Structure 1
Amino acid sequence: MAGSLQDQLLKAGLANKKQAKQAKEHKRKTTKQKRSGQAVDEQQQQQIALEAARKEKAERDRELNQKRQQEQAQKAAQAEVRQLVEAHRIELPKDAELRYNFAHGSKIHHLYLDQKLIDRLARGQVRIAFLDGSYHLVPTEIVERVEQRQADVILPRPKDDTPAEDDPYADYVIPDDLMW
């Protein structure tokens, strides 16, 4: 088989004259560019573009990994909080008749408690936690650990409503049973 590869492809019918002419033209242009130094510049530009694309992909991957790690850390904190609250919660008495009202967000909710638990809530020995759509009573030792992981689970303590020292109406106490 004598002849160039191009001639062999033309004889076999795998290429036509137009494709052969385009291949020759392309080869001639590349050799001319190599002589003038343009091909080297194009290769450098391609390498720079590839390097920039690699750096961009690495940055995207790094950000994605960081986001995944944050999500995993958040899920782990939620699991720890759930475990702490469920392990240390104080069981609500089933026969309690006193209704304890408290604010959560902009709504008033209530729990039925006995006087002992209401006194502990008033002294700050017990706090209310909101977890998975229900309210639980948790001792203050556990509250600190829960707040370190997720502060929004524990409801804030009620504000002290004792009048200020310089309040001119401090001597006039509003009765608890007053109805408006």
Structure 2
Amino acid sequence: MAGSLQDQLLNAGLASKQQAKQAKQQKRKKAKQQKAGKAEDDQQRQREALEAARKAKAEKDRELNLKRQQEQSDKARRAEVQQLVEAHQVKLPDDSELRYNFVEGTTIHHLYVDQRQLDQLARGQLRIASLDGQHKVVPADIAARIEQRLEGVILPLPKDDTPDEDDPYADYVIPDDLMW
């Protein structure tokens, strides 16, 4: 018995030729449907992958646009601050010998000011703006407007150096006119 099952059934008389044809047709249809189903599944997976890639690209584009807009607004605020500083800076005298020392980060810088400007700096009526490595003196109201637009440009006011009540050196007051 070396034939296929179909041949064996035909030879034994258990099935007719018509039944054999129908079985072959059904087998072909089933195989064709499975191929079509696989093709549809593959197409569906491709569509889903394309949709996911499109959504990922749209999200990435949105993030890039937000980043560009943020950079543009930062650049515009920086230009506005630069313009405020340039327009409202206090002119420092060229021939002054009074040296005003201030700390920026961990570095000590100085400006040469006159006595009136020194008093205003000490009272907080004038403030120092540090922009692009340059230090300019601006009025306090302009400094407040600059701080609203861009943090970190205006140097903080010096800390109040009044001694604590339990400080053993509270009786030794540093003179106001001491310049360091």
TM-score, normalised to structure 2, is 0.76
Look up the match of 1:98: 98
SS at match of 2:152: helix
Look up the match of 1:173: 173
Instruction: Tell me which structure has the larger Cα radius of gyration.
Output: 2
Q: Does 1:114 align with 2:134?
A: no
Look up the match of 1:58: 58
SS at match of 1:130: strand
Q: 2: CA distance between counterparts of 1:127 and 1:149?
A: 16
Q: 2: CA distance between counterparts of 1:174 and 1:97?
A: 22
Percent of pairs with identical residues: 66
- Superposition pairs of residues 21-40 of structure 1, within 5 angstroms: 32=32, 36-40=36-40
Look up the match of 1:81: 81
Look up the match of 1:135: 135
How far did residue 174 of structure 1 move?
4.6
Q: What stretches of structure 2 of length at least 5 have no aligned partner?
A: 1-30
How far did residue 165 of structure 1 move?
2.7
- CA offset digits 1:89-128 (Å, max 9, x no partner): 1011112111111111111111110000000011110000
Which letter does structure 1 place at the counterpart of 2:110?
A: H
Q: 1: CA distance between counterparts of 2:166 and 2:158?
A: 22
Look up the match of 1:157: 157
Q: What stretches of structure 1 of length at least 5 have no aligned partner?
A: 1-30
Q: 2: CA distance between counterparts of 1:166 and 1:147?
A: 36
Deviates more, 1:92-101 or 1:31-40: 31-40
Which letter does structure 2 place at the counterpart of 1:98?
A: L
Q: 2: CA distance between counterparts of 1:89 and 1:122?
A: 17
Q: Give the RMSD, CA atoms, in angstroms.
A: 2.2
How far did residue 168 of structure 1 move?
3.0
SS at match of 1:110: strand
Look up the match of 1:21: none
Which letter does structure 2 place at the counterpart of 1:126?
A: L
Look up the match of 1:47: 47
SS at match of 1:135: strand
**Contact 1:33–1:39, Cα closer than 8 Å, also in 2:** no
How far did residue 132 of structure 1 move?
2.2
How far did residue 35 of structure 1 move?
5.5
Look up the match of 2:19: none
Q: 1: CA distance between counterparts of 2:41 and 2:90?
A: 75
**Contact 1:130–1:155, Cα closer than 8 Å, also in 2:** yes
Look up the match of 1:25: none
Deviates more, 1:86-95 or 1:161-170: 161-170
- Superposition pairs of residues 3-14 of structure 1, within 5 angstroms: none
Q: 2: CA distance between counterparts of 1:36 and 1:136?
A: 76
How far did residue 167 of structure 1 move?
2.3
Q: 1: CA distance between counterparts of 2:44 and 2:65?
A: 31
Which letter does structure 1 place at the counterpart of 2:42?
A: E
TM-score, normalised to structure 1, is 0.76
